[in-house]
Amino acid sequence: MKKHIVLLPGDGIGPEVTGEAVKVLRMAARCYGGDIEFQEALVGGAAYEAAGDPLPEETLDLCREADAIFLGAVGGPKWASIPADKRPEAGLLRLRKELGLYANLRPVRLFPELAGLSCLRPDIVAQGLDLLVVRELTGDVYFGQPAGEEVRDGLRHAFNNMIYNEEEIRRIARIGFDAARQRKKRLCSVDKANVLASSRLWREVVEETHRDYPEVELSHMYVDNCAMQLVLRPDQFDVILTGNLFGDILSDEAAALAGSLGLLPSASLSGLAGTGGAGLYEPIHGSAPDIAGQDRANPLAAILAAAMLLDLALGLKEAAKGVEEAVRLTLREGYRSADLARPGEKTTGCSRMGDLVADRLE
Ligand code: NAD
C-alpha cells in the first residue's frame, strides 16, 4: 500500500537537508520495495511569509492524514521580532501539540570514524557510545498549570508547575520499555525522586509498568547524577527514560558527546510504533542561518531521521539498517561535511554527501 509522507522543509538549511533525505528515501524505497509518495507543505518562517501563520490549517490537515511527517528545520533571525505566536518555532510547538506527539526519541551514537570529534577523553570514547534518550514531550513544567507571575507581599513571584498524571507517565514508560526490549534490554529511568513529588509518582508508575516488561533490566538514577555519568561513563546507558524538563537538558548534553549536531536524528511519536498517528521525524539541529544556501550543511542527521521514519513509521527495518550502513560507509571512506572536517581536511558539500549515501545504499 502506498505510504503518504508529508515533507515540511521549513527554513534555512531545512530545505537543503530535506532534499537529501528525500533522495535517500526514494533510493531506499527502490531498493527495498517500499511504495512512498511525498507531498510538500509550508511550516515555520516560510509559512509565515506565504500565509501569515507558521502552521497554516492546510499544513495541519495534511499532517493529520499522513503516514509520516518529515521536518527539516524552522526559524531564523528574520522572524526574531515578530509576535511570539507567529514565530516559526511556535508553528512547530503547535504541530507537536495538535498531533499529540508526546514521545521524543533521540538516539545518540558515536561513529568510530568520528571518535576524534567527541568532547570526551579518548579512553572514555573507546568504551563506545550508543544510547537512546526517550523524553516525555507534552507535559511537565512546560505545560503544567497554574503557571504565571504575581506580586505577593510586595515581591514579584513567578511560578511553574511540575505536574504529571499517572497515565502520562505510563504511556511514555511503555515507549521506553518497548524501545529497550528491542535494544540491549536496559532502561534507566531518570528523576529527582529524593526531592520532587512528581518524580516520586514517576518512579512508582515506571516500577508498575516494568511488570509488563520483565525481560528489561530497570534502574533509577537522579538527574544530577545522570548528567555526571553521561560524561564519565556513557557506555553504561542503553535507554534513558525521563520527563520533559530533564530530557530537554540531558538529550542536548548527550548530543554534544557525539561530536556534531549535524549527525543526530529524532522522532516524535503519539504512541508505540505502528499504533499511533503519524510521527514527526527530524534532525535535532536548527535552521543554521549562518550556513544556509551555501551547500555546507551536513545532511546526515536528516538522512538518519529518514532511517528512523523507514523503521518506525513504515516498518521497513531492513531499509532503515541499509541507510545507516550507507552513512557509515560514506564516513568510513573518508567523506566529511564541513562540520566534521579537521582543519585542512577536504570537505564534501550537502548535495554530494546525499548522493554518496544514496549510491552506497544502491
Ligand atoms: P542551529 O542548530 O541552527 O545551529 C547551531 C550551530 O550548528 C550553527 O553554527 C550551525 O551552523 C551549526 N549546524 C547546525 N546544523 C548543522 C548541520 N546540519 N550541518 C552543519 N552545521 C550545522 O541552532 P541555532 O543557531 O541556535 O538556531 C538557529 C535557528 O534554528 C533559531 O531560529 C532556532 O530557534 C531554530 N531551531 C529550530 C529547531 C527545529 O526546527 N527543530 C531546533 C533548534 C533551533
289 contact partners, CB below 8 Å, separation of at least 6: 11, 12, 75, 76, 77
Ligand 1 atom at minimum distance from 71 CA? 40
pLDDT tens for residues 201-228? 999 999 999 999 999 999 999 999 999 9
Q: Give 193 Cα–ligand 1 centroid separation in angstroms.
A: 33
Give yes or no for residue 262 CB within 6 A of ligand 1: yes
Percent of the chain with pLDDT over 70: 99
Neighbours of 152 (CB within 10 A): 8
Residue 254 is predicted with a pLDDT of 87
Residue 281 is predicted with a pLDDT of 98
pLDDT tens for residues 90-137? 999 899 989 999 999 999 999 988 988 888 998 998 888 999 999 999
CA 352 – CA 362 distance, rounded (Å):
15
Give yes or no for residue 45 CB within 6 A of ligand 1: no
For ligand 1, atom 40, name the residue with the nearest CA.
73
Q: What is the 3-state secondary structure (H, E, C) of the chain?
A: CCEEEEEEEECCCHHHHHHHHHHHHHHHHHHHCCCEEEEECCCHHHHHHHHCCCCCHHHHHHHHHCCEEEEEECCCHHHCCCCHHHCHHHHHHHHHHHCCCCEEEEEEECCHHHHHHCCCCHHHHCCCCEEEEEEECCCHHHCCCCCEEEEECCEEEEECCCCCCHHHHHHHHHHHHHHHHCCCCEEEEEECCCCCHHHHHHHHHHHHHHCCCCCCEEEEEEHHHHHHHHHHCHHHCCEEEECHHHHHHHHHHHHHHCCCHHHCEEEEECCCCCCCCCEEEEECCCCCCCCCCCCCCCCHHHHHHHHHHHHHHCCCHHHHHHHHHHHHHHHHCCCCCHHHCCCCCCCCCHHHHHHHHHHHHC
Residue 116 is predicted with a pLDDT of 85
Please give the backbone phi and psi of residue 294, each rounded to the nearest 5 degrees, phi first.
-115, 5
pLDDT tens for residues 25-77? 999 999 998 899 999 999 999 999 999 999 999 999 999 999 999 999 999 99
Q: Is the pLDDT of residue 276 over 80?
A: no
Q: Give the residue numbers marked as catalytic.
A: 142, 192, 224, 248, 252
Residue 211 is predicted with a pLDDT of 98
Residue 274 is predicted with a pLDDT of 65
Among 81, 87, 284, 285, which is best to mutate for testing ligand 1, by the most ligand atoms less than 8 A from CB?
A: 285
Q: Give 13 Cα–ligand 1 centroid separation in angstroms.
A: 9
Ligand 1 atom at minimum distance from 89 CA? 34
Q: Give 75 Cα–ligand 1 centroid separation in angstroms.
A: 9
Q: Give 150 Cα–ligand 1 centroid separation in angstroms.
A: 35
For ligand 1, atom 34, name the residue with the nearest CA.
75
pTM of the model: 0.93
Residue 356 is predicted with a pLDDT of 98
Q: Give 349 Cα–ligand 1 centroid separation in angstroms.
A: 17
Give yes or no for residue 75 CB within 6 A of ligand 1: yes
Per DSSP bridges, beta strands 148-152 and 155-159 are antiparallel
